[in-house]
Amino acid sequence: MKGKKSLFALGVAGAMIVALTGCSSGTSADTPSGTSADTSSGSSAGSSSGTSGGTSGGTDEHVDLTMTIWGSDVDKKVYTERLALAQKALPNITVKLVQISDNYDTKLQTMIAGGQSPDVIMTAEAVNVLSSKGQLEDLGPALQKRGIDPVATFGEGSVKTYSTSGHLWGVPDRAGAMVLYYNKDLFDKAGVAYPDGTWDWQQFRDAAKKLTVSANGKTTTWGYAAGDWWPWYMTWMYQNGGRILDDNGKPVVNSPENVEALTFYNDMVLKDHSAPSPQDYADAGLKNGQPDPLFAQGKLAMETTGFWNIASLSDATFKWGVAPLWHGKDKAVPAFGSALAVSSQSKHKEAAEDLVAFLTSDEGETPIATSGLDIPSNLKLLKSDTFLKAPWNKGGIDLGAFTDSAESIYSPPLVPEWNQIQKAFTDGMDATWKGQASVADGLSKVQSTLEGIFK
Amino acid sequence: MTTTARPGEDSVPRPGGPAGPPAASLTPHRQKGTVTRPGLRRKRTREALTFYAFISPWLFGFIVFTAIPMIASLVLAFTNWDSFQPPVFIGIANFVKMFTQDPLFWQALVHTLYFTVVSVPLSLLIALGLAQLLSRPMRGARFFRTIVYIPALVPLVAGAMIFKWLFAPDSGPVNGFLALFGIKGPAWLLDPHWVIPGIILLSLWQVGAGTILLIAALQGIPPELYEAARIDGASRFQQFWRLSVPLVTPILFFNLITGMISAFQVFSQVYVLTDGTSGPDNASLMMVPYVYDSAFRNYNMGYASALAWVLFLIIMALSAIVLRSSRAWVFYETEVRR
């Protein structure tokens, strides 16, 4: 009797162990979001496409690749469409798409550390974290071999963003030049002419002042809004000829150009009150530098943001438009795009390169343009009616603003220490943004922090 | 006496007995030099097997998800590892850097101590006060108990989002309330001096769980003790201070230990309230967020492991001190009866 009982207990325990291990392997790093999708059943009817050899052991063989992307279900849908096109062009490659909806870089880092690196990696600001650790393939030779000239195809700014010393670590996939969104109703009310990309700093500042409305000492409508995010503050620096790191990689944050640039911007906040301060953001229930909701509520006349904002303005009750940014001494436009990279741990690099080359071709990027997901990086597609007259653009937004801005994109210093640079600005400029310290003091603080990092 | 087993060590382990291999380890000296009946030994073996079978799921989880990662992180603490390339052994350099060259470590440590030393005793006091009020029979007691407990059910991140709005400098209800008394409230989360008090207020909002335990403990005190105290002329306060409090010290002790450990590991509150910046200018930087930043923002997994181990040792040491002190102030009824 007793023996039977303990045997039963053993059995139960055993079953629990099996359940536990089964469970743990099911939720391990290879499917971090649990929303992976097999994009095709995967036929192995291979036809040799001329790119034979490589580590995949011949393209006739069937190859399974994994690709990680971030974003929402809309992103996933568009990428699934793109992979379906790839399936037709490269029938011997089957791609498993893994969508990681949040903490992308952290989860990717964990996958790679666990030896489960995806073959094709969507990447952006973290590109050189990966490249400096030897995790990415140089795609320059791969593109050359396939007869693709990166600069001619994607533009210099985009290519430079993902390159270090002549190596191309990611092929630009989504270009994402940021533009000036403006509320036409507020402009009409204030009697200010719409922006058209020709404004200089002073014209911009004057317009912002005229567009600001306040009642009882409280601002109800702001002319412009920005805050603690690099595309906002670095753009002023780059437009004024300033830089974060010089050509030798040494920090040059507190240069006179940069002090002048950020003083100009901060005066709009502290003197003109035409842009919200950190406290104004907190009072609006927003974090420092979150202008999108203000714009959507009609409380903001102008903001610099990316293509993604179009979707959130679809039910706006006011008329709005987009225009290229103003300019300083130089034209400089921030971009927030992404690239496709190939892992150096991939067992099928040749096939992965084939896939990346196809996905970034005008054909492979077409779903990005037709769905209205983002701006395609491929200049041919960007200038074509497929994008400019896309069916989703019923409101007749002037998408040319994005096309025109593509050539002025500047590349921020996407060094491996990029996160630390941003943190240094967040910490060092905190008192400055609040008006408790001068711009020069703030930038000196950032400079000394960066000097500690880039010894 | 030597050949007959006491009732307690028979085949059935006593409920609530110490965890560990029963029978076999409880009486090792007993088996030496005595002739045990073969049946008993077999029984014991079988029993031990059953025991291990039953705890194996937990044991497996502990080894795979706790023990191995802990050992790995201890090894990594002595390396320079960016999580991509192979780790490089660097001896105690991480610890040297931490204690001699890293002002952020000291800031994080001081802030964490500040948060713990203020928030834990305060939440114990508030929980005890609320429990005392809510443990009496009164109209609507259940309703109020529910209200007190609800914040403990709200996910921490959601609670923190609400607090961000409550703490807004001009439009927030907290400063609106202070303005009623003519006090100009601080900018809370934007002010380096007020951001940690703000985080402490958020943690105090969640005293419900401790309160529920204390209510149960207070209600478990036999009424005849209060009756006797009243007959002896004890005042209300004396009844509370000399009777209720000593009898709930085991629960206070439990809340103190668990509260202290979780206060040292505070993460979500800081992360959400400061948008992941530990700002303004690191004024709210705490230990676990710093471990996270080191590992996943600065890609310094070795340093993060070293930080985690220092935190672990600090928590262990303080827990040991509190455990030791408990002999002086924690009162177990059963001890007296003996």
Cβ count near B60 (within 10 Å): 16
| Pair B111, B42 in one domain | no
Determine, yes or no, domain membership for B72.
Answer: no
The pLDDT value recorded for residue A11 is 44
By residue range, what is the domain housing residue B313? 94-337
| Pair B150, B52 in one domain | no
3-state secondary structure A168-232: ECCEEEECCECEEEEEHHHHHHHCCCCCCCCCCHHHHHHHHHHHCEEECCEEEEEEEECCCCHHH
| Pair B176, B44 in one domain | no
| Pair B144, B248 in one domain | yes
| Pair B127, B267 in one domain | yes
Task: Inform me whether the pLDDT recorded for B197 exceeds 90.
Answer: yes
The pLDDT value recorded for residue A276 is 94
In a 3-state reduction of DSSP, which class is residue B277? coil
Among residues B50, B187, B323, the alpha carbon closest in space to that of A14 is found at B50
pLDDT in tens, B254-272: 999 999 999 999 999 999 8
Hey, are the CB atoms on B84 and A284 less than 8 Å from each other? no
Task: Inform me whether the pLDDT recorded for A55 exceeds 60.
Answer: no
The pLDDT value recorded for residue B253 is 95
| Residues paired with residue A95 on neighbouring β-strands, in sequence order | A65
The pLDDT value recorded for residue A315 is 83
| Pair B186, B271 in one domain | yes
Kindly report the average pLDDT of chain B as a whole number: 87
| Domains identified in chain B, total number | 2
| Pair B181, B329 in one domain | yes
The pLDDT value recorded for residue B129 is 94
Which residue of chain A has the CA closest to B279? A427
Chain A interface, best mutation among B272, B292, B293, B299, by max A CB count within 10 A = B299
The pLDDT value recorded for residue A79 is 96
Sign of the Cα torsion A298, A302, A305, A307 reads positive
Give the pLDDT mean for A55-70: 76
Hey, are the CB atoms on B82 and A133 less than 8 Å from each other? yes
Hey, are the CB atoms on B190 and A279 less than 8 Å from each other? yes
Residues of B in contact with A109 (CB under 8 A): 83-84, 296, 299
pLDDT band at A283 (very low <50, low <70, confident <90, very high): confident
Distance from CA of A324 to the nearest CA of B (A): 30
Residues of B in contact with A288 (CB under 8 A): 275
Task: Inform me whether the pLDDT recorded for A415 exceeds 80.
Answer: yes
Q: Which two tokens stand for residue B118?
A: 């203020």
Task: Inform me whether the pLDDT recorded for B4 exceeds 80.
Answer: no
Determine, yes or no, domain membership for B261.
Answer: yes
The pLDDT value recorded for residue A12 is 43
| Pair B118, B33 in one domain | no
Determine, yes or no, domain membership for B63.
Answer: no
Chain A interface, best mutation among B11, B43, B50, by max A CB count within 10 A = B50
Residues of B in contact with A417 (CB under 8 A): 298
Give the pLDDT mean for A244-265: 95
Chain A interface, best mutation among B10, B55, B190, B305, by max A CB count within 10 A = B190
Q: How far apart are CA B217 and CA B211, in angstroms?
A: 10
Which residue of chain B has the CA closest to A423? B277
Which residue of chain B has the CA closest to A282? B168
Give the pLDDT mean for B45-52: 91
pLDDT band at A36 (very low <50, low <70, confident <90, very high): very low
pLDDT in tens, B277-334: 898 999 999 999 999 999 999 999 999 999 999 999 999 999 999 999 998 889 887 6
Which domains, from first to last, does chain A contain? Answer: 37-176+336-408 (3.40.190.10), 179-332+417-453 (3.40.190.10)
Residues of B in contact with A112 (CB under 8 A): 83-84
pLDDT in tens, B154-167: 998 899 889 988 99
Determine, yes or no, domain membership for B36.
Answer: yes
Cβ count near B123 (within 10 Å): 23
ipTM of the complex: 0.79
Give the pLDDT mean for A184-208: 95
Give the pLDDT mean for B135-151: 89
**Which amino acid is residue A446, in one-letter code?**
V
The pLDDT value recorded for residue B334 is 66
| Pair B23, B132 in one domain | no
| Pair B33, B128 in one domain | no
Task: Inform me whether the pLDDT recorded for A21 exceeds 70.
Answer: no
The pLDDT value recorded for residue B16 is 41
| Pair B13, B145 in one domain | no
B57 interfacial to chain A (CB closer than 8 Å): yes
Nearby residues of B191 by Cβ (< 8 Å), 6 or more positions away: B280
Shortest CB distance from A134 goes to which of B46, B50, B85? B85
**Contact of B119 with B263, CB cutoff 8 Å:** yes
pLDDT band at B221 (very low <50, low <70, confident <90, very high): very high
Give the pLDDT mean for A394-422: 88
CATH number at residue B147: 1.10.3720.10
Give the pLDDT mean for A67-76: 92
**Contact of B189 with B210, CB cutoff 8 Å:** no
Residues of A in contact with B83 (CB under 8 A): 109-110, 112-113
**Contact of A325 with A178, CB cutoff 8 Å:** yes
**Contact of A239 with A265, CB cutoff 8 Å:** no
| Pair B30, B137 in one domain | no
Give the pLDDT mean for A293-305: 93
The pLDDT value recorded for residue A353 is 96
The pLDDT value recorded for residue A391 is 85
